[in-house]
Chains A and B, each alone.
Chain A
């Protein structure tokens, strides 16, 4: 177990501020506080080499959790450890073994050329010369850094900066890396490049990743396991496949039928006709009750089929339902798919 969180809880206490001048003045002397429970009683374990998606709607408590694991926030209660080290008690020790990418802010030195930021990091982490050379060579190639390695960071585009940030986070070979929205604001190609880099690092170096993102394609392409939190509480922790199976039972079959059919109904329980546009008819079916095979056979008996496509439920549609309704209701994903 390389990362563990046990009953992790964080409450933010903010001084209550009044409105206007009088409000500001009285708030200077009052002891009124607002408590905000950002993370409540969250527990999970990660094995070395896992790449876990940590997702949840805005304000769910994802960044707060990551800040506790990196040692920059002290938990209000509960415990956590990274590689056996309690981050907030031993921030510097922990700092050596983790890498962090915050999509929202850079860890590169704003005034310095990218290359010099790396040199400085080399001194900060005491990276041995051979490790530094090897990593620089690899990252320069994989992330195509040489186009802008001499450019001051403040002149880099977001995509370039993000590539620089990834190199910076991994330069000291950390066994654990936290990514907080690393693909935010990137174009499709840049996102793909970053995903490829994460997957490659995870595969080749066995680096453990926790990935926070609002782009579920990131998660779908990279992670086997996701943890979903909302309002600070853990809602789900398990395999993506399982959540798809459990909450995405409905699939869609679109058939193109030769010739006219006024009322193409299939009288099988678990199948429902959704729409019809000319020769294209869509059916929604519950894959627990009817297999795609059965449905196609039944259709073929009645009609001349020209083409058939079946669509998987998209993770995004499932997650949206979970955010909106929680885990209780079975997600009617069909709507989202038509």
Chain B
């Protein structure tokens, strides 16, 4: 596979995002607002209930703030355009080109995500005026955190791609989409750390679920809930999920491509 076209796709996606300037400000503004509100909520909850599951209040606020910052990059749903393209038939144009459409979408998502990552810097800087953030436990943890974010991105991308590819079979995917989004936001640890789930089978399932690879893995490493050798197994689990989702997504895509129905003349 030639890499050049995909580099170009990523570059164009990056500069395309740059043209929506007002969107950048509203994005950052909404993150800051949520950082403020969530820090209030967690502070109140901690005041009434005391420390939970071995996570101190400052660690919790760090967790919640970083989760909101990660939303900026995980929230890029580059695969979503596929659904529109299938729905109105312009997928035909992409399919007649000598490119792999999933990798085209990946490149486009990477470009968008790189642009979104740049928003993280001002968003992080401004958040520091609102809340106090703990530094990562060790330098190693900081590095592992970045790797885990990258792996989380891959898992998240393939999940989005799977959802978009289902459009090949059924256009009425909205309900399924909402359900997956709900389950994902619950089990990924983006809203509430999985450590707060009642210990037992549910918590075990949450930790074992692929969604945990998206938010829970990097954030647990950052706040030091996962240390030492556990970091390696956490990253390893992410790699496994990235691989499984990747295989499923590309397999589904191949199947879908074979029985594609192009809409419209």
Contact = CB atoms under 8 A, between A and B. Distances in A.
Interface in B1-16: 2, 4-5, 7-9, 12, 16
B-side interface mostly: loop
Contact of B95 (A72, A96, A111, A119): A72
Nearest to A93: B98
B111 to A, nearest CB: 13
A104 B5 CA distance: 26
A74 B259 contact: yes
Contact of B100 (A73, A92, A98): A92
Interface residues of B, number: 28
A73 B99 contact: no
Interface stretch (A63-71, A220-228, A308-316): A63-71
Contacts of A107: 93, 96
Contacts of A185: none
A22 interface: no
A107 B90 CA distance: 9
Given A63-B265, A126-B4, A70 B89 contact: no
A123 interface: yes
B21 interface: no
A324 B157 CA distance: 53
A125 B89 CA distance: 22
A187 to B, nearest CB: 21
A269 to B, nearest CB: 47
B173 to A, nearest CB: 12
A180 B172 CA distance: 29
Give the secondary structure class of A's interface.
mixed
Contacts of A63: 265
B92 interface: yes
Interface in A199-226: none
Given A12-B261, A72-B260, A72-B262, A105 B96 contact: no
B98 A92 contact: yes
B47 interface: no
A104 to B, nearest CB: 5
A324 B7 CA distance: 53
B12 A112 contact: yes
A124 interface: yes
A95 interface: yes
Contacts of A102: 92-93
Nearest to B88: A105
Interface string B128-166: 000000000000000000000000000000000000000
25 contacts: A63-B265, A67-B262, A70-B96, A71-B95, A71-B96, A72-B96, A73-B262, A74-B260, A91-B95, A92-B100, A95-B98, A95-B99, A96-B98, A98-B96, A100-B96, A104-B264, A104-B265, A105-B89, A111-B16, A111-B19, A119-B8, A120-B5, A120-B12, A123-B4, A124-B97
